[in-house]
Amino acid sequence: MSSQEQPTDTSTAESTILEVEGVSKRFGGLVAVDDVSFTLDQGTILGVIGPNGAGKTTLFNVVNGFLDPEEGSVRLNGVDITHADPSEHAKQGMARTFQLVKPFGPLTVLDNVMVGSFLKTGSRKEAEKLAMKRLEFLGLEEIADVPAQNITVAQKKKMELCRALATDPEIILVDEVMAGLQQEEQREILDALERINNAGTTIVLIEHVMDALMEISERIIVLNEGKLIADGEPDEIGTNDEVIEAYLGESWREQQERMSDA
């Protein structure tokens, strides 16, 4: 066999952490995710973009076990997790954040994050230590004892990230963590994601804040009407005609042209 004819099944390759193969998810007559396939190398930051309703969150829900797909499979480190529930995913090393943050309001920030760390340890002391470590990581330690219902949107988004990180994941799915935040807060989250990634964690990031996403992603996949329409490096995606037409818009192209002329 020549080197061009290597088998395409990479499930045994050490560097492949996630394999999504031919996944479809329907809601009645609507095909929310339509035959989507991609693989992901360990340590990558993958961006996921596409218009509202394209199927991005639904794809996360399938990958994370909240929804069962009608077709296709999801493998984590070579293990088929297609029909495993979310707590099983957490044990296997996958965590996610939610687009709509619904904290346990009366509980403190620390207790909310401990919901994550209790997936790793049964000891309250240990869970608290893990959770505090994550709160310090994102600069939330001073509000550890504040009820979650009293904190700002930006703090809630960071708390949500801490809760996911408190499970000590190998791979984390982050759904629109920067939406609605000030630029400075977005920058803090970008820095945190970079530090998380530098420590070896693979990150999949759904985001509409394009500058931030283009900056941090090594690779981007694009969904439109449930279908994967592009998969490539940020530069390729940013100049892809189909992606511009479906999502980025002509104003994006003009802005890029202005920037390259300057």
Ligand X SMILES: Nc1ncnc2c1ncn2[C@@H]1O[C@H](COP(=O)(O)OP(=O)(O)OP(=O)(O)O)[C@@H](O)[C@H]1O
82-101 binders of Mg ion (CB under 5 A):
99
Is residue 169 near ligand X by the rule CB under 6 A? no
What span, in angstroms and rounded, lies between the C-alpha atoms of 75 and 120?
Answer: 21
55 binds, among Mg ion, ligand X, none (CB under 5 to 8 A by kind): ligand X
Q: Please check whether residue 25 is in contact with residue 63, taking contact to mean a CB–CB distance below 8 angstroms.
A: no
Is residue 57 near Mg ion by the rule CB under 5 A? yes
243 binds, among Mg ion, ligand X, none (CB under 5 to 8 A by kind): none
Is residue 39 near ligand X by the rule CB under 6 A? no
Rule CB under 6 A: choose which of 16, 57, 112, 240 binds ligand X: 57
- Give the DSSP letter string of 132-198: HHHHHHTT-GGGTTSBGGGS-HHHHHHHHHHHHHTT--SEEEEESSSTT--HHHHHHHHHHHHHHHH
Q: Which is nearer to ligand X, 25 or 134 (CB)?
A: 25
153 binds, among Mg ion, ligand X, none (CB under 5 to 8 A by kind): none
Is residue 61 near Mg ion by the rule CB under 5 A? no
74-103 binders of ligand X (CB under 6 A):
99
C-alpha closest to that of 229 among 218, 240, 238, 219: 240
Is residue 39 near Mg ion by the rule CB under 5 A? no
Q: How far is the CB of 261 from ligand X (least distance, A)?
A: 31
Rule CB under 6 A: choose which of 27, 78, 136, 180 binds ligand X: 27
What span, in angstroms and rounded, lies between the C-alpha atoms of 80 and 228?
Answer: 21
Q: What is the CA radius of gyration of the chain?
A: 19
Burial 108-127 (b: 16+ CB within 10 A, else e): bbbbbbbbbbbbbbeeeeeb
Q: Please check whether residue 106 is in contact with residue 149, taking contact to mean a CB–CB distance below 8 angstroms.
A: yes
Q: How far is the CB of 7 from Mg ion (least distance, A)?
A: 35
Is residue 163 near ligand X by the rule CB under 6 A? no
Q: Which residues contact ligand X by CB under 6 A?
A: 27, 30, 32, 50, 52-58, 99
